[in-house]
Chains A and B, each alone.
Chain A
Amino acid sequence: MITLTDVHKAFGANRVLQGVNLTIPTAESMVIIGGSGTGKSVLLKCILGLVRPDSGSISIDGEDVTKTDRDAFLARFGMLFQGGALFDSLSVWQNVAFRLLRGAQKLPKAQAREIAIEKLRRVGLKPEVADLFPAELSGGMQKRVGLARAIAAAPQIIFFDEPTTGLDPIMSGVINDLIREIVVEMGVTAMTITHDMTSVRAIADRVAMLHGGLIRWTGPVAGMDGSGDPYLDQFIHGRATGPIESVR
């Protein structure tokens, strides 16, 4: 279980997170929604330790993330980045098996390659893709490779940062289905940040809306439509008018 308590983060005068409280139960898929620039990515990076919160606490299974062994902590995570964040200089299979080729989870090269190819197959990519380089792949394929890399070392927690951004609706549907299948199949705790309401409905068990530096609403995905919260209502229906200011 991931627990955030009163998390604050500011960049200069810009107070991005102003007391975020959120609990993500084990083996559940939580989707964080919110407008651009509301701090969704910052929240995710705070949990991973890529950004240090100004105050508040973040714990995983009761352990403060700032006080645990960093390598052991990160070994529990997989992450799919918005643009894939694949390493250009490495082939596809080396990207997927990156964690398996070095560090505490190091495996022999042949075995790591075998696992990488199996994970590529799991995300719908043929073994021939393994020896290509990221620049030779389409955007959708890069996302799939990123997904394969995220699950390669069998993590307990997976983060998905805007998993369908820049993809056509069909490829978005494919990625959403893959994420849902993988989360259920592996029994992992998942946290996704997205604006895409189709993704939200496909991936989420629970939804949290971040607005004004706070969690505005949280609840099961089925309760989203009848929440009665005007902010959530405006966001999920994409209305230009409402309590959330829009720039026209």
Chain B
Amino acid sequence: MILTAPFAATGRVTLAALAAIGRAALFALATVSHLFRPPFYWREFAMQLIQIGYFSLPVVGMTAFFTGGALALQIYSGGARFNAESVVPSIVAIGMARELGPVLGGLMVAARVASSIAAEIGTMKVTEQIDALVTLSTNPMKYLTLPRVLAATLAVPVLVGIGDAIGIMGGFVVGVNRLGFNEAAYLKNTADFLQTWDVGSGMIKGAVFGFLVALMGCYYGMNSDRGAQGVGRATKAAVVAASVLILASNYLLTELFFTS
């Protein structure tokens, strides 16, 4: 009995984790299936586009700007070890577009959006607003989940695209003012090396990250326990799950896009 206890505990944890993954996957499938079944709540979708897309712009923009600037400094100082300072514009552009723009943008959206969605829906659940929706003949998945998930899936790639441009601008500002690059040469170098697929792959990543962020916010909000503590736990779990999923899916997408 004592000898098998660690295996039993490991088994329990594994089964619980698999069950949680299964529940989240079913939730995702149910969400997507509602996309093809009317009604679709356009007003809620438009409001979420503004909430998730427009209002996330300042935080994503600032993150991208400072990241682009720091990246330029790092590449310059690292490149100086083997006389490769001139690669700063191209590496900043490729790094921002392929990796840092989508990942950091996704993480910032996870912090801002997954938490707010989980807290809002969790509070709605504990105050019986979700039950009220059902009694008013409104499916909560259609009214709350689908508009948020769809809005995030469409808005985050746009945020990533804007973040890429701002990040490259951050690198440009630092490169020109701090590292002594010629303005025209910096821009030409950036344009020459940056390819459409660099930006496109980052935006596809952004769409996946947006889907995951909103899905985790909705999933944990809908499954929130009672009370303030329950909503707090749901919010924390949503942000942690969204962040981990962003990093894990980023690796898988990078493998898929750039090694095959």
- Residue positions of A touching B, CB distance < 8 A: 45, 48-50, 70-71, 74-75, 77-79, 81-83, 85-88, 98-99, 102-104, 149
Q: Is the CB of B129 within 8 A of A87?
A: yes
Q: Which residues of B contact A77 (CB under 8 A)?
A: 135
Q: Is the CB of B39 within 8 A of A82?
A: no
Q: Is the CB of B138 within 8 A of A85?
A: no
Count CB-based A-B contacts (< 8 Å).
Answer: 47
Q: Is the CB of B132 within 8 A of A103?
A: no
Q: A79-B135, A99-B137 are known contacts; what are 6 more A-B pairs with Cβ within 8 Å?
A: A50-B135, A77-B135, A81-B131, A102-B138, A103-B137, A149-B136
Choice from B39, B41, B127 contacting A85 with Cβ under 8 Å: B127
Given A81-B132, A85-B132, residue A71 in contact with residue B127 (CB < 8 A): no
CA distance A78 to B135 in the complex (A): 7
Choice from A70, A79, A102 contacting B132 with Cβ under 8 Å: A79
Q: Is the CB of B128 within 8 A of A83?
A: yes
Q: Is the CB of B129 within 8 A of A82?
A: no
Task: Decide if B134 is an interface residue (CB 8 Å cutoff).
Answer: yes
The smallest C-beta distance from A161 to any residue of chain B, in angstroms, reads 8
Chain B residues with a Cβ closer than 8 Å to the other chain, count: 13
Question: Residue of B at shortest CB range from A82?
Answer: B128
Question: Residue of B at shortest CB range from A45?
Answer: B131
CA distance A117 to B237 in the complex (A): 41
CA distance A87 to B44 in the complex (A): 13
Q: Is the CB of B137 within 8 A of A85?
A: no
Choice from A48, A102, A103 contacting B135 with Cβ under 8 Å: A48
Residue from the set A70, A71, A87, A104 with the largest chain B CB neighbour count within 10 Å: A87
The smallest C-beta distance from A62 to any residue of chain B, in angstroms, reads 22
CA distance A213 to B65 in the complex (A): 63
Q: Is the CB of A87 within 8 A of B132?
A: yes
Q: Which residues of B contact A85 (CB under 8 A)?
A: 127-129, 131-132
Question: 11 A-B Cβ contacts within 8 A?
Answer: A48-B134, A49-B134, A50-B134, A74-B137, A85-B128, A85-B131, A86-B129, A87-B129, A87-B132, A103-B39, A104-B137
Q: Which residues of A contact B128 (CB under 8 A)?
A: 81-83, 85
CA distance A48 to B131 in the complex (A): 10
